[in-house]
């Protein structure tokens, strides 16, 4: 009678007893990551909204109490922006991964369905991947962060932790990813797991991103500096082995990808998918209020006359113009046949095209076409990113010609008409900066609303983010401020350099 | 010598028989209710005596010069010299609450004279036949140290009760208002009741369990206030213990009685709302003022305001009235009792029905009680079975948590002409009762008392208590924006089993029997569970379907069930000792082990000691004994506990299936189809093996005096309660991944004085009129002594800007406000900072660097931190805000006055609360809610209060009390967190007036009745209050906020009859 146990949930002593438990915990880690990244559209607000109103026009701010435009001008010190400044929720996910890694060796062998060794490796590999992803996100947004690799045995002791040097954090991420790669296979056990369950290629793709970040931002922090070549080379090796594996890439006859297949890439689990968050409609996991749906309206979305968001002028007119100028005069034009123009923009020629990259709508109430849900996964790493990184690496390596030909073939794969024209205005001269600019432009076209253009701009030092001036960049102004609430309980914390005194 | 002695002895033996004994008859009556059966009549100096029969008659033989002692529990003892009389008519005077009584001190009763504890008591008949759904409401103003605020007029709802101050501390705003003050422990017929936390009012029917007890079945209520009394309830005694005894049988021929009353409940004074042309005029004036220099005044003015000829817009609909009604209240009680000295029985049935003044709200209670007593011939063994059955039905108005949001500020403008359809949208949930809430309660217990010897007895009490509750809600499609009907069903079962066994030892020692000792040792076990099953369906096919059946699968069908269990094992003991009834000592100890604590801290021990000195028994006081019948000093110290509301603190709890994310909308339990399990990242995720009991050290010192043989009584108690290690959420390090954990981190102190005066008769003895005044006052000061995380202040509130603070040195839930200094008459009045040259400014929403000086017509705020800016949107700690005011009442009490004249009685009760602050959120909302309404459209759509009498700033130079009406300024100077909206919550209420007439016995004879009494009562008669701006200063939530969406307290008028056969 004096020992009552909860029956409405499980608890630490009773859990962690079988492979099945570990899988539920792993699902918990994924769900926690999903919640972390999508909280108040964190992913898209940070990765895309930061690019300013030339990309996204806010007509009514869905979050942040009408102060959404502060993100577009880089004012992260303003009210309501705690979702960007407070790292607590990410540490919940880290706690979950640390618990899994701590408990995994203790799970009895006989509870594994198949080979226990393989089963353990599979869980450990995925867990390390999730933890690395979270630390990489923290590293990119805050720089130094407390590095915690085991669950706190006594959280009530309330022992404050200082921030760990970012060089140590990044090294830990790389080591963890090495371990994860050793645990996982390149192949998918089940084809339908593509993307939502990371495999070895996903680990390598993330690791390539981490190496590039270290090469460009951590080791060479100045805006004017070029990257550290040792890390670039490591990233290059990883990228090449992903591409050479042949596991990825949509069918491309004549070098032009199948546009029907391509359109499915944004629904999820295709040969484009490397790592994505499961947010499809099944099991009630769909979304009805994420940023992509806020672009939609009639006739793409029934009964919605007005969308909260519109595409910015620069995005529509510069990235996807109706005609492409191919010569010296404005008469030398060709119609824009880029398949993305039709796939991403509905009514591209109209005054206010609709952004339809994510528009796989399911109506919860089909009779009345009411309560729309998006049946699209949220992509975090895609094969196109690997291809674009390869060009970027080639530029860093000084192989400008290779980079250029890769860019040309990438553009051709999307059926951009001007690629074969020697008159194309931006093709010459081939310089380090002009090529990186072109690659960044291509990234903007391809990866818009995938939550990473901001970090691409920081890494490639391109100034696509209008407010990130070189001066601010050199004060580490691309990092976010720490939430003042974090200091309440922790006297060891120090504010980021650029934000000290501003918040 | 021997002969003389022998002769003397013989003479002594002969003497009594020498005088001829005579037969004496008589009748004993109570001045109010007629004959008193069971009263004791004794010959003084002799053990002979008889008991009156059921008509109050007695007969005995006695010497003609004998003195008769007449006594009856609850009445003043009388002595009558026979002086040869053979018939006496004796009227006994009631003595409720005075010193002749016994008081309950937990598992024992003691004579009040010998009590060393602070106990307030009332008798059941003091609260009889007053129309109230739940008896706690009736305790208001009747007991010192017990602060009852009837903050809601909802029938059957629980008021807030605190015994000697607020000990509850919460780190966030609780919309569940019952949890803000820790409730005392209720003990009904020796059975501690459910821990309320098991089923909060937001689960299932949410009906107040205590309302299942028929107030007319209560024999007595004793409130244990200090540790000396309450420590025997150990871990649950810290907030006071309220002990209720229900009525029991008496011996005699069967006596039937029926009591019935009926009456009206009437809508009280509501808020003023302008209607029709008055609203139109007022709105146009306010609108023109607000848009004075603005072209909008001409272009934006809404059609609703201007088009008085439009038949759709020229109505005078008083929406507020549409939600209210006048109703009826009815009550019938029936009981019969009787029996022999070996077997008694009592059966009673009751019915109470009260219509709420809000449509579709109301409360019905059906009760059936049976108790009996079976005794062996020598009285050594007694078995007492007791069964209480109750059914409660509750109407909940709209069925939403907010009773009727539409009556608050979002009430539509009176100018709209409501058609059937729109009326249905607004009132649909009120006009038909679609929300059915029933609670069926079964309380049964059997107690066995075994007398082992003259000194030692054993008692065992075993009880079961069940509450079966059901809530069925069905909402037609019309009220769901035509998206189909919805239905939900919630079914709960609470079960509690208690067994309590004790040994009681009484002994008297010494030559002169000067040592009296009394000890009890016992054990108690209580085990409670709560289970709930909930199902809900949306988007149904037909309004006809009122259960969860046939709803579409997927997100529209939801089901869950829950389970919680709690067990507590206790050992308790107490020793009372007195020397010559003059020096009194008492000590008690209780040990509790509760399932809610981890293995390291299962047991908590709660000791108490107390002592009393009956000064009036001392020889040197004898000479005052003619007028000073009693003078007693007493003191106590003890440790009391409080149980946490969480049952599974010792586990690191996991969250199963909480896989929702921001934007998901459907609350998934899976990731990629796999159920997710994680620790509870918010709170509960950290096991609390070491958490220990919340303990309160309680000091009490008291004085009691009784004058003129009980005619006057006075008591005063001074106390200090230090609540240590209050369980409060502490913020953990952000890097642990878990937000908060409960910790023993906060300390509170309550200190104060309870005073009690009783004038049993103000009039001279011989007067036919008897006038009784009972007066009690309680003063309590509440202070936060320490807070967790190194005394970090915590602010919280229900609004965007936090309105309350927990800070060291201030009372719990102190207001946290900007100081309002007035209204700027002109722009030039806005001060300029002499260093920066900048005008004093409003902090902009999004940019502190921008320049937004205050303007004429806006409130003047004190710039406490001197930075030249008032941040408009600082949710947390702000440099310009300070702790201010106190929502906890300082002084509360009541005055009861009763007049007895011949067969008439007349009485009234007044209750009062002084020194309490109230934040008038209703008013701040009235003025401040349109700050974002740039066009004034919203302003024209909603109802408006009568503001014409208010001194509102209109043009530069106005010396106004109220700032200019804020429509579309985006400057938010009518924010709620300012002292301008703080009001004095003092009130003095004539709570009820009652009168009664009892028919004379002679008149009853031909009717074959034993008793016939007519009575009437007015409840909630009138309130005098300090604030002119609050409709009812008591109708204020426990945070000290009045927000206009509460349930007003109705006036009630009843007439009744009480018949005895």
Contact call for A39 and B564, based on CB within 8 A? no
Using the Cα atoms of residue B205, residue B206, residue B209 and residue B213 in order, give the sign of their dihedral: negative
pLDDT at residue A464, as a whole number: 94
Say which residues have a Cβ less than 8 Å from residue B668's Cβ, sequence separation at least 6.
A283, A284, A285, B659, B660
- Picking from A62, A156, A277 by the largest number of B CB atoms within 10 A of its own CB, the best residue to mutate is A156
3-state secondary structure of B942: strand
Quick one: pLDDT band at residue B887, thresholds 50, 70, 90? very high
Specify whether the CB–CB gap between B601 and B693 falls below 8 A: yes
* DSSP conformation class of B643: -
A315 Rama sector, left if φ>0, alpha if ψ -120 to 50, beta otherwise: alpha
Quick one: pLDDT band at residue B507, thresholds 50, 70, 90? very high
Closest CA–CA distance from residue A342 to any residue of chain B (Å): 27
Give chain A's residues under pLDDT 50.
419-425
Q: In degrees, to the nearest 5, what angle opens at C-alpha B518 toward C-alphas B517 and B523?
A: 150
Nearest by CB: B677 against A10, A95, A486: A10
Task: Determine the Cα–Cα distance for residues A431 and A434; give it in Å rounded to an integer.
Answer: 5
Closest CA–CA distance from residue A158 to any residue of chain B (Å): 6
pLDDT at residue B500, as a whole number: 94
Which residues of A fall within a CB distance of 8 Å from B790? Answer: none
Stretch B924-935: mean pLDDT, rounded? 80
Q: Which helix (H) or strand (E) holds B674?
A: strand B674-675
pLDDT at residue A20, as a whole number: 95
Per-residue pLDDT tens for A408-447?
A: 899 989 988 764 444 444 556 678 998 999 899 999 999 9
Stretch B329-347: mean pLDDT, rounded? 92
pLDDT at residue B53, as a whole number: 79
Contact call for A283 and B673, based on CB within 8 A? yes
- Picking from A31, A41, A193 by the largest number of B CB atoms within 10 A of its own CB, the best residue to mutate is A31
Q: In degrees, to the nearest 5, what angle opens at C-alpha A314 toward C-alphas A313 and A315?
A: 90
Contact call for A1 and B567, based on CB within 8 A? yes
Which residues of A fall within a CB distance of 8 Å from B873? Answer: 79
Contact call for B671 and A6, based on CB within 8 A? no
CA atoms within 13 Å, Cβ hemisphere of B868:
16
Contact call for B662 and A38, based on CB within 8 A? yes
Per-residue pLDDT tens for B681-706?
A: 988 788 877 777 788 899 999 999 98
The pLDDT of residue B5 is above 50: yes
Quick one: pLDDT band at residue B12, thresholds 50, 70, 90? very low
Contact call for B593 and A2, based on CB within 8 A? yes
Bridge partners of residue B29, in order along the sequence: B35, B91
Closest CA–CA distance from residue A77 to any residue of chain B (Å): 9
Stretch B365-394: mean pLDDT, rounded? 92
Count of H-run helices and E-run strands, chain B? 11, 54
For A276, name the nearest residue in chain B, comparing CA atoms only.
Answer: B672
Instruction: Give the burial class of A1: count Cβ atoms within 10 A of its Cβ; 0-12 exposed, 13-18 middle, 19 or more buried.
Output: middle
- Picking from A92, A293, A449 by the largest number of B CB atoms within 10 A of its own CB, the best residue to mutate is A92
For residues B175 and B934, which has the higher predicted lDDT (pLDDT)?
B934
Closest CA–CA distance from residue A123 to any residue of chain B (Å): 14
pLDDT at residue A427, as a whole number: 53
Q: B349-353, B628-632, B881-885, B1047-1051: which has the highest mean pLDDT?
A: B349-353
Per-residue pLDDT tens for B35-48?
A: 777 777 888 777 67
Contact call for A365 and B483, based on CB within 8 A? yes
3-state secondary structure of A367: helix
Q: Which of residues 383-422 of A touch B (CB under 8 A)?
A: none
Which residues of B fall within a CB distance of 8 Å from A134? Answer: none
pLDDT at residue B99, as a whole number: 44
For A159, name the nearest residue in chain B, comparing CA atoms only.
Answer: B733
pLDDT at residue B196, as a whole number: 60
Nearest by CB: A160 against B669, B733, B873: B733
Quick one: pLDDT band at residue B74, thresholds 50, 70, 90? low
pLDDT at residue B3, as a whole number: 56
Per-residue pLDDT tens for B727-739?
A: 777 888 889 999 8
pLDDT at residue A422, as a whole number: 46
pLDDT at residue A421, as a whole number: 43
3-state secondary structure of B685: coil
pLDDT at residue B371, as a whole number: 93
Task: Determine the Cα–Cα distance for residues B643 and B567; give it in Å rounded to an integer.
Answer: 12
Quick one: pLDDT band at residue B7, thresholds 50, 70, 90? low
pLDDT at residue B548, as a whole number: 92
Per-residue pLDDT tens for B551-562?
A: 888 778 889 999
Task: Determine the Cα–Cα distance for residues B260 and B143; give it in Å rounded to an integer.
Answer: 27
How far CA A183 is from CA of A170, A174, A205, B888, in Å, comes to 20, 14, 15, 62
Quick one: pLDDT band at residue B289, thresholds 50, 70, 90? confident
Contact call for A4 and B565, based on CB within 8 A? yes
Cβ of A24 under 8 Å from any chain B Cβ?
yes
How far CA B979 is from CA of A137, A359, B881, B884, B953, in Å, comes to 45, 51, 10, 8, 18
Q: Are strands B185-188 and B241-246 parallel, antiparallel or unpaired?
A: parallel
pLDDT at residue B912, as a whole number: 95
Task: Determine the Cα–Cα distance for residues B579 and B510; give it in Å rounded to an integer.
Answer: 10
DSSP letters for B42-67: EETTSS-EEE--TTSEEEEEE-TT-E
The token pair that represents A117 in the structure block: 């060794």
pLDDT at residue B872, as a whole number: 66
Nearest by CB: B677 against A28, A41, A70: A28
pLDDT at residue B296, as a whole number: 65
Quick one: pLDDT band at residue B725, thresholds 50, 70, 90? low
The pLDDT of residue B761 is above 50: yes
pLDDT at residue A109, as a whole number: 93
Stretch B1017-1041: mean pLDDT, rounded? 89
Contact call for B732 and A40, based on CB within 8 A? no
Which residues of B fall within a CB distance of 8 Å from A287? Answer: 661, 663-665
For residues B643 and B577, which has the higher predicted lDDT (pLDDT)?
B577
Nearest by CB: B735 against A32, A148, A284: A148
3-state secondary structure of B959: coil
Contact call for A92 and B681, based on CB within 8 A? yes
Nearest by CB: A11 against B566, B654, B876: B654
Q: Which helix (H) or strand (E) holds A395?
A: helix A383-396
pLDDT at residue A232, as a whole number: 97
Task: Determine the Cα–Cα distance for residues B269 and B572; give it in Å rounded to an integer.
Answer: 51
pLDDT at residue B195, as a whole number: 59
* CB contacts < 8 A (A, B): 232
The pLDDT of residue B10 is above 60: no
Which residues of B fall within a CB distance of 8 Å from A34? Answer: 659, 661, 671
How far CA B745 is from CA of A153, A304, B698, in Å, comes to 20, 52, 19
Q: What is the pTM of this model?
A: 0.84
Q: Which helix (H) or strand (E) holds A25?
A: helix A19-38
3-state secondary structure of B449: strand
3-state secondary structure of B904: strand
Stretch B563-591: mean pLDDT, rounded? 92
pLDDT at residue B200, as a whole number: 64
The pLDDT of residue B174 is above 80: no
Q: Which of residues 281-320 of A touch B (CB under 8 A)?
A: 282-290
Cβ of B483 under 8 Å from any chain A Cβ?
yes
Return the minimum-mean-pLDDT range out of A168-177, B316-325, B634-643: B316-325
Lookup result for tokens 């529990």: B73
Return the minimum-mean-pLDDT range out of A219-233, B377-391, B470-484, B548-562: B470-484
Contact call for B676 and A28, based on CB within 8 A? yes
Quick one: pLDDT band at residue B15, thresholds 50, 70, 90? very low
Which residues of A fall within a CB distance of 8 Å from B731? Answer: 488-489
Which residues of A fall within a CB distance of 8 Å from B498? Answer: none
Task: Determine the Cα–Cα distance for residues A350 and A352; give it in Å rounded to an integer.
Answer: 6
Stretch B307-333: mean pLDDT, rounded? 84
Which residues of A fall within a CB distance of 8 Å from B788? Answer: none
């Amino acid at each position: 009678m004096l020992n009552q146990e909860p029956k409405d949930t499980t608890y630490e002593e009773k859990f962690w007893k079988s492979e099945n438990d570990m899988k539920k915990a792993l699902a918990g880690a994924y769900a926690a990551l999903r919640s972390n990244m999508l909280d108040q559209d964190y992913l898209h607000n940070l990765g895309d909204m930061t690019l300013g109103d030339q990309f996204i026009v806010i007509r009514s701010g869905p979050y942040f109490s009408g102060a959404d435009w502060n993100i577009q001008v880089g004012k992260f010190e303003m009210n309501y922006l705690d979702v960007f400044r407070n790292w607590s929720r990410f540490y919940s996910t880290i706690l979950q991964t640390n618990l899994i890694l701590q408990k995994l060796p203790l799970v009895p062998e006989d509870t594994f369905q198949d080979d226990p060794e393989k089963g353990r490796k599979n869980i450990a590999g995925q867990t390390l991947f999730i933890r690395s992803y979270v630390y990489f996100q923290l590293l990119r947004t805050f720089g130094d962060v407390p590095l915690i690799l085991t669950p706190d045995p006594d959280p009530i002791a309330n022992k404050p932790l200082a921030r760990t040097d970012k060089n140590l954090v990044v090294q830990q991420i790389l080591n963890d990813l090495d371990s994860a790669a050793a645990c996982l296979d390149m192949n998918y056990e089940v084809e339908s797991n593509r993307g939502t369950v990371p495999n070895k290629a996903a680990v390598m793709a993330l690791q390539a991103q981490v190496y590039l970040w270290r090469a460009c931002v951590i080791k060479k922090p100045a805006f004017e500096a070029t990257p550290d070549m040792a890390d670039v080379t490591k990233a290059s090796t990883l990228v090449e082995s992903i591409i050479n594996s042949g596991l990825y890439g949509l069918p491309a006859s004549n070098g032009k990808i199948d546009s029907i297949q391509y359109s499915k890439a944004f629904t999820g689990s295709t040969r484009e998918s490397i790592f994505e968050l499961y947010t499809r409609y099944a099991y009630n996991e769909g979304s009805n209020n994420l940023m992509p749906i806020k672009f939609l309206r009639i006739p793409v979305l029934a009964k919605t006359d007005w969308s909260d968001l519109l595409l910015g002028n620069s995005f529509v007119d510069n990235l996807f113009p109706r005609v492409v100028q191919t010569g010296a005069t404005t008469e030398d034009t060709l119609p824009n046949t880029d398949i993305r123009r039709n796939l991403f923009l509905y009514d591209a020629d109209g005054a206010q095209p609709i952004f339809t990259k994510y528009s796989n709508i399911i109506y919860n109430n089909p009779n009345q076409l009411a309560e729309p849900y998006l049946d699209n996964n949220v992509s975090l790493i895609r094969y196109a990113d690997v291809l674009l990184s390869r060009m970027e690496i080639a530029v860093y390596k000084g192989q400008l010609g290779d980079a250029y030909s890769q860019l040309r073939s990438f553009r051709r794969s999307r059926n951009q008409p001007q690629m074969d024209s020697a008159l194309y205005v931006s093709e010459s001269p081939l310089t380090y900066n002009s090529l990186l600019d072109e690659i960044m432009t291509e990234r903007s076209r391809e990866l818009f609303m995938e939550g990473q253009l901001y970090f691409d701009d920081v890494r490639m030092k391109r100034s696509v983010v209008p407010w990130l001036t070189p001066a601010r960049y050199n004060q580490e102004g691309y990092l976010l401020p720490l939430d003042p609430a974090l200091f309440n309980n922790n006297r060891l914390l120090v504010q980021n350099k650029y934000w000290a005194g501003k918040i | 010598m021997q002969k003389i002695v022998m002769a003397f002895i013989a003479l002594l033996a002969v003497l009594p028989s020498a005088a001829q004994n005579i037969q004496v008859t008589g009748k004993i009556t109570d001045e109010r209710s007629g004959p008193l059966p069971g009263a004791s009549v004794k010959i003084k100096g002799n053990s002979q005596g008889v008991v009156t029969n059921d008509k109050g008659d007695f007969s005995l033989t006695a010497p003609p010069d004998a003195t008769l002692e007449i006594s009856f529990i609850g009445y003043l003892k009388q002595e009558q010299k026979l002086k040869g009389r053979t018939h006496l008519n004796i009227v006994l005077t009631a003595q409720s609450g005075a010193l002749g009584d016994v008081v309950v001190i937990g598992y024992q009763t003691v004579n009040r004279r010998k009590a060393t504890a602070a106990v307030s008591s009332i008798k059941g008949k003091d609260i009889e036949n007053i129309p109230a759904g739940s008896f706690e409401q009736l305790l208001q103003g009747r007991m010192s140290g017990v602060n009852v605020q009837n903050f809601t007029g909802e029938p059957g709802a629980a008021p807030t009760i605190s015994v000697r101050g607020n000990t509850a501390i919460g780190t966030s705003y609780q919309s569940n208002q019952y949890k803000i003050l820790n409730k005392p422990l209720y003990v009904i017929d020796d059975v501690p009741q459910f821990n309320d936390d098991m089923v909060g009012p937001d689960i299932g029917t949410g009906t107040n369990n205590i309302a299942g007890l028929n107030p007319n079945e209560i024999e007595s209520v004793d409130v244990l206030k200090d540790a000396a009394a309450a420590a025997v309830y150990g871990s649950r005694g810290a907030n006071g213990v309220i002990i209720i005894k229900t009525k029991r049988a008496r011996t005699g021929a069967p006596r039937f009685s029926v009591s019935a009353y009926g009456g009206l409940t009437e809508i009280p004074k509501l808020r003023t709302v302008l209607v029709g042309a008055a609203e139109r005029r007022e709105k146009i004036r306010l609108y023109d003022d607000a848009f004075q220099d603005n072209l909008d005044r001409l272009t934006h003015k809404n059609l609703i305001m201007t088009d008085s000829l439009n038949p759709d817009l020229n109505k005078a609909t008083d929406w507020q009235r549409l939600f209210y009604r006048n109703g009826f209240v009815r009550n019938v009680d029936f009981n019969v009792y009787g029996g022999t000295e070996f077997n008694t029985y009592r059966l009673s049935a009751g019915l109470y029905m009260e219509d709420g003044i809000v449509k579709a709200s109301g409360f019905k209670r059906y009760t059936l009680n049976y108790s009996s007593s079976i005794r062996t011939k020598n009285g050594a063994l007694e078995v007492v079975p007791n069964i209480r059955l109750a059914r409660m039905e509750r109407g909940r108005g709209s069925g939403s948590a907010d009773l009727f949001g539409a009556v608050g500020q979002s009430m539509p403008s009176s100018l709209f002409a409501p058609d059937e359809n729109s009326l249905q949208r607004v009132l649909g949930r009120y006009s038909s009762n679609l929300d059915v809430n029933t609670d069926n309660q079964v309380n049964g217990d059997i107690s066995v008392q075994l007398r082992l010897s003259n000194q030692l007895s054993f008692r065992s009490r075993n009880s079961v208590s069940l509450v079966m509750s059901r809530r069925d809600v069905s909402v037609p499609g019309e009220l769901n924006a035509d998206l189909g009907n919805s239905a939900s069903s919630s079914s709960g079962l609470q079960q509690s089993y208690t067994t309590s066994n004790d040994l009681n030892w009484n002994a008297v020692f010494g030559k002169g029997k000067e040592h009296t000792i009394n000890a009890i040792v016992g054990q108690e076990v209580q085990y409670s569970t709560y289970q709930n099953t909930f199902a809900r369906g949306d988007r149904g096919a037909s309004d006809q379907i009122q259960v969860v059946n046939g709803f579409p699968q997927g997100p529209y069908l939801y089901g869950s069930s829950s389970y919680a269990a709690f067990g507590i094992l206790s050992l308790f003991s107490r020793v009372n000792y007195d020397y010559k009834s003059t020096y009194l000592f008492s000590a008690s100890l209780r040990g509790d082990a509760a399932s809610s604590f981890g293995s390291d801290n299962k047991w908590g021990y709660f000791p108490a000691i107390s002592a009393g000195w009956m000064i009036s028994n001392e020889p040197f006081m004898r000479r005052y004994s003619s007028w000073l019948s009693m003078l007693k000093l007493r003191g106590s110290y003890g440790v009391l506990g409080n149980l946490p509301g969480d049952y599974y603190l010792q586990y690191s709890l996991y969250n199963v299936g909480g896989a929702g994310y921001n934007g998901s909308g459907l609350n998934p339990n899976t990731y990629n189809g796999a159920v997710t399990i994680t620790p509870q990242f918010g709170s509960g995720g950290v096991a609390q093996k070491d958490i220990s009991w919340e303990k309160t050290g309680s000091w009490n010192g008291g004085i009691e005096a009784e004058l003129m043989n009980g005619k006057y009584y006075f008591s005063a108690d001074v106390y200090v309660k230090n609540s240590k290690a209050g369980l409060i959420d502490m913020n953990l390090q952000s890097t642990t991944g878990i937000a908060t954990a409960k910790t023993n981190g906060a300390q509170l102190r309550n200190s104060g004085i309870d005073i009690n005066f009783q004038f049993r008769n103000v009039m001279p003895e011989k007067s036919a009129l008897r006038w009784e005044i009972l007066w009690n006052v309680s003063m309590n000061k509440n202070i936060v002594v320490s807070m967790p995380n190194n005394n970090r202040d915590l602010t919280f509130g229900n609004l965007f800007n936090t309105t309350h603070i927990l800070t060291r040195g201030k009372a719990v839930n102190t207001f946290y406000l900007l100081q309002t200094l007035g209204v700027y008459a002109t722009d030039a009045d806005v001060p300029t900072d002499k260093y920066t040259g900048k005008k004093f400014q409003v902090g902009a929403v999004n940019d502190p660097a921008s320049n937004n000086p205050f303007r004429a017509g806006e409130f003047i705020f004190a710039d406490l931190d001197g930075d030249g800016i008032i941040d408009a949107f600082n949710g947390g700690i702000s440099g310009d805000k300070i702790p201010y005011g106190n929502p906890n009442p300082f002084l509360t009490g009541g005055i009861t006055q009763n007049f007895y004249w011949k067969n008439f009685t007349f009485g009234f009760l007044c209750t009062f609360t002084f020194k309490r602050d109230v934040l008038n959120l209703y008013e701040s909302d009235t003025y401040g809610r349109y700050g974002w309404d740039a066009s004034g459209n919203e302003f024209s759509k909603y109802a408006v209060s009568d503001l014409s009498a208010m001194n509102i700033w209109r043009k530069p130079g106005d010396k106004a009390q109220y700032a200019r009406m804020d429509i579309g300024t985006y400057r938010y100077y009518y924010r709620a967190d300012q002292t301008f909206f703080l009001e004095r919550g003092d009130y003095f209420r004539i709570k009820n007036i009652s009168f009664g007439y009892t028919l004379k016995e002679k008149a009853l004879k031909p009717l074959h009745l034993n008793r016939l009494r007519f009575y009437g009562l007015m409840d909630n008669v009138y309130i005098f209050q300090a604030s002119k701006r609050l409709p009812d200063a008591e109708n204020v939530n426990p945070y000290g906020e009045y927000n206009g969406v509460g349930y007003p307290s109705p006036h009630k008028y009843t007439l009744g009859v009480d018949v005895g056969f």
